[in-house]
Amino acid sequence: MRLQQKIALVTGAARGIGEAIARLFAKEGAIVILTDINDDLGQSLASGIGDTCEYLHLDVSKPSQWQHIQEHVITKYGRLDILVNNAGITGFLETEGPHDPENLDFASWKKVNATNTDGVVLGCQCAIKMMKHAPAASIVNISSRSGIVGIPGAAAYAASKAAVRNHTKTVALYCAQQGYAIRCNSIHPGAILTPMWDAMLGKGEARKAAIAAVAADVPLGVMGSPEDVAFAALYLASDEANYVTGIELNIDGGILAGSAAVPSQKS
């Protein structure tokens, strides 16, 4: 029960990494507020988790909706202890594209950044206002390995996740400077098998082959699971990380260690 009676808000929580985080936080004793734009999935998940969980609709790119969330949380719970800014899109399914630097569609660029960048900025702003009088609080921003390295076919996604990486450090330093007991850290998943990959992996045998190809470029030899990221979020959200702020935690099977080579099997 590492999050006993803490009030936690998770964005983009209806599936994938957000769902895994919500489930784990509830298991560890938190009162969890799930948000998403997929209301059917979100409501179903909240009902399945039980009485310590509720679902609220939230388009993270809309300031007015964040204001509604803030008012609801303060009125019902009186405080917020944890925010996980998880909501994000690649743009491959949600926009027309293309997404490479030369030919990118500017409307698609803006939509990806509205969700991934603006959504995190608004979430952090809202959380600081709710957390600044708390004895201890934590913001966890879900970035990506794409926020550290370039992605030629996903310029908007890579740029937005790099913005999340840097804004996390800015928030961490600002809160420390103001004397707020708010920590802010980012997580950088890579090669995590979630629905976000569906557009790239295909179906059936093609999907199996695509997953095997991705895994072959991961030093640990497999794609990660949403639960791998959830446990990292649990650590950063918990009091165990009370001296940790402004860091970036890579959950990528070793990809960002500097080599995509599979470890030798020789003794």
Residues facing 56 on adjacent strands: 35
Instruction: Give the pLDDT of residue 134.
Output: 92
Q: Do 105 and 91 meet the contact criterion of CB atoms below 8 Å apart?
A: no
pLDDT band at 263 (very low <50, low <70, confident <90, very high): very low
pLDDT tens by residue, 153-205: 999 999 999 999 999 999 999 999 999 999 999 999 999 998 877 767 878 88
> Which of 55, 77, 157, 235 does the annotation list as catalytic?
157
263 vs 91, more confident? 91
Who has greater pLDDT, 134 or 201?
134
DSSP 52-77: TEEEEE--TT-HHHHHHHHHHHHHHH
Residue with tokens 């740029």: 159
Query: Strand locations in the chain, DSSP E?
Result: 7-10, 31-36, 53-57, 82-85, 137-142, 182-189, 248-251
Q: Cα–Cα distance between 182 and 139 in angstroms, integer? A: 7
What pLDDT is stored for residue 259 in this prediction? 63
pLDDT band of residue 135 (cuts 50, 70, 90) is very high
* pLDDT score at 207: 84
Q: Is the pLDDT of residue 262 over 70?
A: no
- Find, among 223, 231, 236, 227, the residue nearest to 190 by Cα: 223
Band (139; pLDDT cuts 50, 70, 90) = very high
The whole-angstrom separation of Cα 93 and Cα 33 is 26
The arithmetic mean of pLDDT across residues 2-27, rounded, is: 98
Give the C-alpha separation, 74 to 65, whole Å: 14
- Which residue is listed with tokens 């990528």? 252
Please indicate whether residue 235 is annotated as part of the active site.
Answer: no
Tens of pLDDT, residue by residue over 63-72, are: 999 999 999 9
Find out whether 230 and 17 touch, Cβ atoms under 8 Å: yes
* pLDDT at 245 exceeding the cut of 90: yes
For residue 90, pLDDT over 90 is answered with yes
Contact 140, 237 (CB under 8 A): yes
* d(C-alpha 247, C-alpha 168), whole Å: 8
Tokens of 4: 């006993």
- pLDDT tens digits for 212-235? 999 999 999 999 999 999 999 999
pTM: 0.94
Helix, strand, coil % (nearest 5) of the chain?
A: 50, 15, 35
